[in-house]
Structure 1
Amino acid sequence: MTPEDVWRKIVVKEQNYRHSKSLMQKHPSIEPRMRTILLDWLIEVSEEYTLHRQTFYLAQDYFDRFMLTQTNVDKNILQLIGITCLFIASKMEEAYPPKLAQMAYITAETYYEEEILQMELIILKALGWNLCPETAISCLKLYFQLASMNTNSDLLEPQFPQDVYVQMTRLLDLCILHINSLDFQYRVLAASVLSHFVEQETVEKVSGLSKDATQPCVNWMAPFVETVGLLGRAAVREFSSVKTEDKHNIQTHTDYMSMLVSVLRTFNLIICLKMSLFAT
């Protein structure tokens, strides 16, 4: 598979799987912070059940696309929608997905198994059973794999260093929790993350995206990069039930909420600086 093949595959899928932050306009009682809190919790659940990163990102995609199809969703059922999205995603991605009872239990038994099953059907119908998007994490993994490959290497065999990949995923996790991440296509988000770890020429080659195409996202991402950088390197987590070659693919959680507070402070500082410039 060449970078051109990867690019065409992702572009075709993006045409069938639409996401937009305009979803918030359809739900007056729901604030962007509620989405952030929900997704942060789903990351925690994913780590608790040693689910793969792709499972969480599928759940995030299902949630955002589902909310785009609905109007006036009550904020009190966001957790039900979120855990159901993760339940569906785990059945799509995991060899041994958590059982329905485990999903109900992790909500502190706020929701019963039957309620999750009922919501599952509602979500599946709303999404038209379209459950196989290219997520931001799948794009990032493909790009990094292509960027790390030798001429004669097999695309199916991991070529990239796990520790570097984990640094990338922490940045992407932090970004995806912010509602404005939905301003960008997943492939642009992934390429923008990659641009902070490899040369721009390589990013353009593996993603099919020019610097002009990614620059708005790169600029938006700057405060996230700064915040992540202040925390030092993330370690590759050890999981007793996970093989060494797969441990970097397991979704892990850190204190993303505190990190986002730092990001928002930087955003506010930038806005204040811009206002002062205009005032002068």
Structure 2
Amino acid sequence: MTRQSGRLQKRSENAPGQKSIVSKQINRKKVQPLSKLQCEKNQLILKGVTKPCVVVESVKGARIDSDQNDHHVSGDSSARPSPLPPLGWGSPEDVWVKMVGKEQTYRRSEGFTQKHPTIQPRMRSILLDWLIEVSEAYTLHRQTFYLAQDYFDRFMLTQNNVEKNMLQLIGITCLFIASKMEENCPPKLSQMAHVTALTYHEEEILQMELIVLKALRWNLCPETAVSWLKLYFQLASMNADSDLLEPQFPRDLYVQMTRLLDLCLLSINSLDFQYRVLAASVLCHFLQQETVEKVSGLSRDVLQPCLNWMAPFVESVGRFGRATPEDSARMKEERHNIQTHTDYLTMLDDASSKEVIGEFLTPPSSTEKQ
């Protein structure tokens, strides 16, 4: 797969006689797409069936999928008190336990690439970068893109031997589902088909939508990395007497944080960490680490591996990814919540080239943070 002209592109070769999971094949005319990700076939090859999900109870009642092997789950959060302030609409302890429990229920792993031999980690990065572009083009919220990313990663973990030509269809379908979950006025189905340059038709997106929903068992409400980041920043910025649901954080600084989070998420290695750990590690590069530990309920030992891994991405964003003054001047009431795109793939290449085993940068000192 290669990056071409800001979209995903499909090659014209035919699949060598393989079966599709969908019940009927849609006969359609070949259309020359104008996209960036090279694809080769028109059928989804999904071998095997989603494994049954066995659920057990943790000490705090959070649901855990016992059939998943997650070596990077941090378990100290259940023993820590809730960092949430008193809530007039619920128990902060109950709310916190449910939020943390979603990290155990909605499982992801970079090991999904081992289940799909034709898919390389770079292809995931290209696809997510394209979905960010689509989100910006349709003025979608950041949460919409992050939901789509979560759906994609979890869906791929439930399948086997998905061919690389189907990534664009799966990706745009996940974004279509996410937009209906998050947006007041989601893009129309015809718009989603149009953005693929008619590589896929509306009927195919609808068919894939049902496949994705069944594979995810309709579990569509995770706590995404950006929702954790927003919560942490709100807790760190709010006054003692203010309402948790009223945004009080500096929005231009929040945009800078989301750029770093966007870049990190494009890396397949981000799946080594829970969303709340990723969000807290991003915040550590803008606020004092003691403050981050307080608002996240995560210890220094839990955060340090992610901070070490994130260091090259911080350096790359510092050189390439800061918002321009024009972006800040245009920022209106909801502008900080709208997904924006920059040259993330260039920054990702730059960060990847600077990753050296055993040699990491550390977050800036508190005197250097704004």
TM range, smaller chain: over 0.9
Q: Is the 8 A contact 2:321 2:342 kept in 1?
A: no
Mapped partners of 2:352, 2:135: distance in 1 = 25
- Cα distance in 1 for partners of 2:171, 2:357 equals 32
Contact 1:30–1:74 at 8 Å: present in 2 too? yes
Contact map agreement 2:252 2:328 (CA 8 A) in 1: no
Deviation at 1:230, TM superposition (A): 1.5
What is residue 37 of structure 1 aligned with on the other side?
Answer: 126
Q: Provide Cα deviations, 1:154-178, integer angstroms capped at 9, x if missing partner.
A: 1111100111000000000000000
Q: Is 1:121–2:196 an aligned residue pair?
A: no
The answer to whether the aligner puts 1:155 opposite 2:244 as a matched pair is yes
Correspondence 1:104-183 to 2 at 5 A: 104-183=193-272
After superposition, give the CA deviation of every residue in 1:236-280 in whole Å (9 maximum; x if it has no partner). 74899xx8211000000000011011111101xx24979xxxxxx
Paired letter, 1:233: R
1:228 to 309, 317, 336: 317
Query: Quick one: which of 251, 255, 277 aligns to 2:343?
Result: 255
- Structure 1 residues without counterparts, runs of 5 or longer: 275-280
CA-CA distance at 1:232 after TM superposition: 6.2
Separation (CA, whole Å) in 1 of partners of 2:329 and 2:359: 45
Relative to structure 1, the CA distance from residue 131 to residue 273 in structure 2 (aligned partners, 3 Å threshold; closer, same or farther) is closer
Is 1:246 the counterpart of 2:318? The answer is no
Q: Name the counterpart of 2:294.
A: 205
Q: Deviations 1:177-224 (Å, cap 9, x if unpaired)?
A: 000000000000000000111111110111000011110000000000
- TM-score of the two chains, using structure 2 as the length reference: 0.70
- Give distance in 1, aligned partners of 2:85 and 2:340: 30
| Alpha-carbon contact 1:7-1:208 (below 8 Å) kept | no
Structure showing greater Rg: 2
CA 1:239–1:54: 2 relative to 1, 3 Å: farther
Partner of 2:107: 18
Residue 205 to residue 238, structure 1, CA distance change in 2 (3 Å): closer
Match of 2:14 in 1: none
Q: CA RMSD in A?
A: 1.9
Distance 1:28 1:239, change over 3 A: farther
Partner SS state of residue 154, structure 1? coil
How far the C-alpha of 1:7 sits from its partner, in A, is 4.0
Count of aligned positions? 270
Distance in 1, matches of 2:213 and 2:261, equals 26
Q: Which residue of 1 aligns with 2:183?
A: 94
**CA 1:263–1:46: 2 relative to 1, 3 Å:** same
Higher relative contact order (CA 8 A, sep 6+): 1
How far apart, in 1, do the equivalents of 2:196 and 2:329 lie?
A: 23
Greater helix share, structure number: 1
- For 1:28-107, what aligned pairs fall within 5 Å after superposition? 28-107=117-196
* Structure 1 residue 2, shift from structure 2 partner: 2.5
TM-score, normalised on structure 1?
0.92
Letter in 2 for 1:216: P
What CA distance in whole angstroms lies between the structure 1 residues aligned with 2:130 and 2:170?
13
Q: What secondary structure is seen at the aligned counterpart in 2 of 1:132?
A: coil
Cα deviation, residue 231, structure 1? 2.7
